[in-house]
Each structure stands twice: as C-alpha cells, then as structure tokens.
A = this chain, B = another copy of it.
C-alpha cells in the first residue's frame, strides 16, 4: 500500500524532507498536496476525534494503520523501511540526531523572516527580520556549516556521507537544507560555502543520484518561493554587514 504524505500545496516546506527520502527510495506514495482540496484535507484531518495521533502541524504520513507527524519522526519511521537508515542502532540514532540538528536550522531559517511570529505577515515584521537575518547570516550559517563539515570529516567511513559508508535520509535532508539556504541567502551562502569542502561535495553527489536527478527535473519538485520556509528577500541577504 502506498504511503500518504499530508502537507500544504504550493511550497516545498518541511514536507520536502520526507519527499526526498521517498523519491530516493522510489517508494510509492500519494502526495496529498497534489490533490484538489488537499489543503483542506490536511487542515481538517486531525479534527476527527477518531484520529488518535493527531499531528500538531503537517507534514504527517499515513502508512496503513500508522499515522506519524513531525518531520524528523517521519524520517525515523521511514528510514529502515526505505533502507535509508544504518542497521546499527547507535548509527541510526546518530543519523536521527543529525536530522534533528538540520530541523533546528530549518526552524531558524524560518524565523529569520518571522521573528515576531507566524501569525503576522513578513511585511509586518521587516525591521525585526533584518536584525535577525544579520545574526543568522554572520553567526548561525557559519556555525551550522562548520558542524556539518566536522561531522563529515570525522566520519570513519570517509566524508562522502554524514554517517557510515552509505546514503542516509540525513544526507538527503542536508542537500535540501543547503538548496533552501542558497535560494534564500545567495550572497551569504556563496561566502559561507567557500569555508567548507565536504558539504558542497555531498550536495553535488546527492543531486547526481539517478532517482534524485529525475525527481528534481520532475513537476513533483516544487520551486522555492516566498510562501515557504526558505524565502528570498534581498534585504535579508545584504552583501555587506
């Protein structure tokens, strides 16, 4: 039976981290965001009192009787099923820890354009967003990139993957995170990426994997835009200061 992925239409969003794993594995899945009325289905789903495990927010994934929300928990569940998690439990936990750190950076990238709150439009928090963006560009991007680089350089199996000698869902997530950051902060990322070597190599290798290459060219891959997590506002990506 095909997996069902529930997420908003029109943006890659957090759902994209799940899509990346499903696409790499060539798994059969139904993407609710592509259905007519999908957004309403996503919004209404958890309101049914028969849903015992309602998700606080999308994405959530249905696999027969199992319903699971929270991007990192979805990947924890899918990983072994899609062969994107190491068999060794300690390594699997490490992959999950990396994923949770990626998720933290995703949250921070979102909050750059919504420092005051998600209930207000970006246009109502521009001065605050500019302040937050400065710290994100100067401190947070370099700090996270340095951590990913350290993780890759310390991998005893070599720097081709974040953990072990085989692709995991964390590698796919890092690729998508970097893509999102490059879209949102092209100037800051151009500069920050010169400080690391393994991270861009991994991203390039992911983009060249046959399944991912085909997916990225397909209409299933949604473009980044200014309704999503990674938004390009030039004033948040100044060349200087």
Q: Which residues of A contact B (CB under 8 A)?
A: 49, 51-56, 65-66, 68-70, 72-73, 76-77, 90, 93-94, 96-97, 100-101, 104, 107, 111, 115-117, 119-120, 125, 128, 131-132, 135-136, 139-140, 144, 147, 150-151, 154-156
Nearest chain B residue, comparing its CB with the CB of A138: B119
| Contacting residue for A53 out of B49, B51, B94, B140, CB 8 A | B94
Q: A119 — which chain B residues lie within 8 A by C-beta?
A: 135, 139
Known: A93-B68, A97-B68. A154 touches B54 (CB 8 A): yes
Number of copies of this kind of chain in the complex: 2
Return chain B residues, CB-CB under 8 Å to A154: 49, 51-52, 54
The answer to whether B135 touches A117, judged by C-beta atoms less than 8 angstroms apart, is: yes
B120 A93 Cβ-Cβ under 8 A = no
Cα-based distance from A226 to B92 in the complex (angstroms)? 36
A224 CB to nearest chain B CB (Å): 23
Specify which chain B residues have a CB less than 8 angstroms from the CB of A151 in the assembled complex.
54
- Residues of B near A77 (CB, < 8 A) are 93
Most chain B CB inside 10 Å of its own CB: which residue of A66, A73, A135: A73
Nearest chain B residue, comparing its CB with the CB of A128:
B128
Select which of B52, B56, B132 is within 8 A of A156 by beta carbon.
B52
Partner of A70, one of B90, B100, B111: B100
Residues of B near A144 (CB, < 8 A) are 56
A70 touches B101 (CB 8 A): yes
* Residues of chain B within 8 A of A68, CB atoms compared: 93-94, 97
